[in-house]
């Protein structure tokens, strides 16, 4: 396997002059204000898993337009006092899975909220449980072109709003330290985490592994694999919709959103990544508004760092939250 994009040396020289759409802040302020009209309405139910060191709950909350979003809440058994929390978002096509699927963060002493992505959860893993009740105009198979002709109807408007609401739901839990809610995810999950950190001032830290949905305009030109090619196929048929589609995508491009983020970030890229080209991830990293560290995996494709990256995240987040001056 060869480099999928640019070398690290060439990334350092890359011109990252991107032009965000006019009214981006107003669009997201309007979107989140409309979401705030709905109470969070957090519901919790215990789940029997036969895991003696952890306890699980089936948690749901009101996301975009009040739609129910499902998540697993995983807590260390017998933990006392409010805990720092990690809100995790899922990669493209996957769902929250089974309660036993993700145990690392709670085993390390964190409250862990594993959030479904609406409408997804049937492509890999153990499944999801959250519908997307909103329909779509004509679209290609997948999620990338649903409602793509208008920023108000685009699929990721709902997903990113759900993410902000997930952070608020986590902060509302008595077991959680409201000043220590962190977000994490890989691929699509990494993009959603970056969006949540950009749109919510309450995020304490963000960990994004090989994030998707960054620098759309470049990704569509250089990526030959799914999911970006869903948009390419759509535009190959709807040739007269190019500018409308690109304008919509600009409102959800995390490379445009991340200059607004201030929480410390740990971002990774893989130099042989064919799904999320390194230059697109690099744009999110270099344009990030807060302090950001980068992990580079020179010989990996879109699997990224996997357990090696998760181990670094554990070390990085522990150091961040226990540093002098960090809230106890």
Catalytic residues: 187, 273, 302
Cα separation, 6 vs 151, whole angstroms? 31
Cα separation, 316 vs 48, whole angstroms? 32
SS3 string, 103-170, reads: CHHHHCCCEEEEECCCCCCCCCCCCCCCCCCCCCCCCCCCCCCCCCCCCCCCHHHHHHHHHHHHHHHH
Q: Is 197 exposed, middle or buried (0-12, 13-18, 19+ CB in 10 A)?
A: buried
Answer for the pair 77, 173: CB distance below 8 angstroms, yes or no: no
SS3 state of residue 325: coil
Buried b (16+ CB within 10 A) or exposed e, 27-64: bbeebbeebeeeebebeeeebeeebeebbbbbbbbbbb
Output the DSSP codes for 296-311: EETT--TTTTHHHHHH
The first and second tokens of residue 270, run together, are 């893989």
Helix or strand (DSSP H, E) at 221: helix 216-222
Q: For the chain, what is the total number of helices (H) and then of strands (E)?
A: 11, 9
The first and second tokens of residue 181, run together, are 């809610």
Q: At 219, phi and psi to the nearest 5?
A: -60, -40
Q: What angle, rounded to 10 degrees, do the helices at 155-171 and 24-36 form?
A: 60
92 is in an annotated binding site: yes
Q: Identify the bridge partners of residue 56 per DSSP, sorted by sequence position.
A: 47, 74
Extract the annotated binding site for substrate: 92
């Amino acid at each position: 396997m060869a480099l999928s994009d640019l070398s690290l040396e060439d990334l350092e020289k890359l011109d990252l002059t991107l032009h965000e759409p006019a009214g981006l802040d107003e669009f997201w302020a309007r979107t989140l204000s409309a979401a705030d009209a709905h109470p969070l309405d957090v519901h919790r139910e215990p789940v029997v898993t036969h895991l003696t060191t952890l306890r699980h709950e089936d948690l749901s909350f009101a996301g975009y337009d009040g739609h129910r979003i499902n998540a697993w809440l995983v807590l260390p058994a017998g933990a006392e006092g409010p805990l720092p929390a990690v809100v995790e978002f899922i990669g493209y096509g996957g769902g929250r899975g089974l309660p036993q699927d993700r145990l690392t963060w709670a085993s390390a002493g964190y409250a862990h909220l594993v959030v479904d992505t609406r409408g997804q959860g049937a492509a890999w893993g153990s499944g999801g449980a959250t519908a997307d009740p909103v329909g779509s105009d004509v679209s290609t198979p997948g999620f990338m072109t649903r409602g793509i002709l208008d920023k108000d109807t685009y699929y990721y408007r709902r997903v990113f709003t759900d993410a902000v609401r997930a952070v608020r739901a986590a902060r509302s839990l008595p077991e959680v330290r409201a000043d220590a809610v962190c977000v994490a995810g890989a691929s699509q999950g990494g993009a959603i985490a970056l969006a949540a950190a950009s749109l919510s001032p309450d995020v304490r830290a963000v960990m994004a592994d090989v994030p998707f949905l960054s620098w759309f305009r470049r990704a569509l030109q250089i990526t030959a694999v799914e999911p970006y090619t869903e948009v390419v196929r759509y535009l190959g048929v709807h040739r007269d919709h190019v500018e409308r589609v690109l304008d919509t995508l600009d409102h959800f491009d995390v490379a445009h959103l991340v200059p607004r983020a201030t929480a410390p970030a740990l971002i990774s890229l893989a130099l042989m990544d064919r799904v999320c080209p390194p230059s697109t991830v690099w744009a999110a990293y270099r344009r990030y508004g807060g302090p950001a560290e980068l992990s580079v995996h020179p010989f990996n494709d879109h699997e990224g760092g996997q357990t090696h990256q998760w181990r670094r995240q554990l070390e990085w987040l522990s150091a961040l939250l226990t540093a002098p001056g960090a809230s106890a």
